[in-house]
Amino acid sequence: MDGVAGEARIRIVALVTNAASGSLAERGLDPAAPAAALAAVGLAVRAEPDPTLPLDARLRAAASLPGIDALVVAGGDGTLACAAQVLAGGDVALGILPAGTMNLLARDLGIPLALEAAAAVIADGRARAIDLGEVNGHVFAINSVLGMPARMARYREAERGRPSLAGLARFLAALLRNLDPAPRITARLTRGGTSERVRFHTFAAVVGDYREEVGEVLSRAEVDRGRFTLYLLARLSARRLLRLGLGFAAGAWRALPDLDRLEATSFALHTRRRSLRVMNDGEVILLRTPLNYRIRPGALRVLVPADEARA
């Protein structure tokens, strides 16, 4: 959807900074840097009521402050998903100061990664409505992943902030253990009135779809198309993982063997397992089955560059 031409300029914002996000520490930034960047572009920054609360409570309290034009979040994709949970379906716009490791949502929306440039985008005040996904009441903005990537997330978190050769070796060893012949997930997929048995090593429900272009890795082409793209990878050996990586680099990966691509606006995964690890926008949660997914078209207003708002 397009941003609304002639919208009132953003002047007063509430700010929530997740100091635990990847790039704040990696880039040597002071936790006060996000507020300083906003002030430098002329925005009035309202302090959040209680920064000692859990993140979701901090976001709710900040979004409820009277008189604000937007809620600005400095953090990574997982933090932004938490903010989307709070803001979904409401009138308060989300401003993004990328401060994570991947910053996939910011990249998809054309938001610059430098704090000062991202703050300038917020001050410009153009809003774009984007889709969200939801699974069993949990909101995500980019993707929801099951299988090997969700299992690997705990190893990634264990090494966050303290990179070393030993840590890299542990991660690679864990990766090899989670490739074939690691157990696959068997489930019944229901969508659009049909039902089929599926068995996969890795599953991803993407809000919109990924680009298939040279050098584009996990970059989405559309964020407001009103549907999911589902990817089911039946097997993932070291050889197949290498082929997938080369396919991403070459912009030709959708035709790889054992990779199925489907579309849906809602679907469910039924399995004999009582619960499954689900990784939503990089954050792993344990959800009871069945997993019920639905797309929420235009559910989140995000401040983006003016040309992106009209895309």
Question: Does residue 145 share a domain with residue 123?
Answer: no
For residue 225, pLDDT beyond 60: yes
Please return the burial class of 107, using the count of CB atoms within 10 Å of its CB with bins 0-12, 13-18 and 19+: middle
Question: Does residue 25 share a domain with residue 150?
Answer: no
Averaged pLDDT score across all residues of the chain = 85
Give me the pLDDT at residue 133, please. 98
Q: Which residues fall within 8 angstroms of residue 17, CB to CB, at 6 or more apart?
A: 24, 31, 34, 35, 73, 74, 75, 97, 99
Question: Does residue 175 share a domain with residue 91?
Answer: no
pTM for the full model? 0.85
Give me the pLDDT at residue 21, please. 62
Question: Does residue 228 share a domain with residue 151?
Answer: yes
For residue 295, pLDDT beyond 80: yes
Q: Is residue 250 part of a domain?
A: yes
How many other β-carbons are positioned within 10 Å of the β-carbon of residue 134?
Answer: 21
Question: Does residue 64 share a domain with residue 120?
Answer: yes
Q: Is residue 4 part of a domain?
A: no
Give the residue numbers spanning the domain of 146: 140-296
pLDDT tens, residue by residue, 186-210: 999 999 999 999 999 889 999 999 9
Q: Is residue 26 part of a domain?
A: yes
- Lowest-confidence segment of 67-71, 113-117, 147-151, 163-167 by average pLDDT: 163-167
Q: How far apart are CA 236 and CA 244, in angstroms?
A: 9
Question: Does residue 188 share a domain with residue 166?
Answer: yes
pLDDT tens, residue by residue, 32-63: 899 999 999 999 999 899 999 999 999 999 99
Please give the residue that has the higher pLDDT: either 208 or 25: 208
How remote is the C-alpha of 14 from its chain's centroid? 21
Number of domains in the chain: 2
Question: Does residue 289 share a domain with residue 155?
Answer: yes
pLDDT tens, residue by residue, 226-284: 999 999 988 766 666 676 667 766 777 777 777 899 999 999 999 999 999 999 998 99
For residue 296, pLDDT beyond 60: yes
- Proportion of the chain above pLDDT 70, given as a percent: 77
Taking Cα atoms as reference points, which of 232, 180, 245, 188 lies closest to residue 206? 232
Q: Is residue 159 part of a domain?
A: yes
Question: Does residue 110 share a domain with residue 194?
Answer: no
Give me the CATH number covering residue 57: 3.40.50.10330
Q: Is residue 150 part of a domain?
A: yes
Question: Does residue 161 share a domain with residue 115?
Answer: no
Please, where are the H alpha helices in the chain? 22-26, 33-40, 55-63, 77-87, 104-108, 115-124, 148-159, 165-177, 238-250, 306-309
Question: Does residue 283 share a domain with residue 244?
Answer: yes
Q: Is residue 6 part of a domain?
A: no
Question: Does residue 66 share a domain with residue 30?
Answer: yes
Q: Is residue 2 part of a domain?
A: no
Question: Does residue 178 share a domain with residue 40?
Answer: no
Give me the CATH number covering residue 250: 2.60.200.40
Q: Is residue 20 part of a domain?
A: yes
Taking Cα atoms as reference points, which of 110, 146, 130, 124 lies closest to residue 277? 146
Reported confidence tier of residue 171, pLDDT bands at 50, 70, 90: low
Give me the pLDDT at residue 97, please. 96
Rounded average pLDDT over 23-29: 61
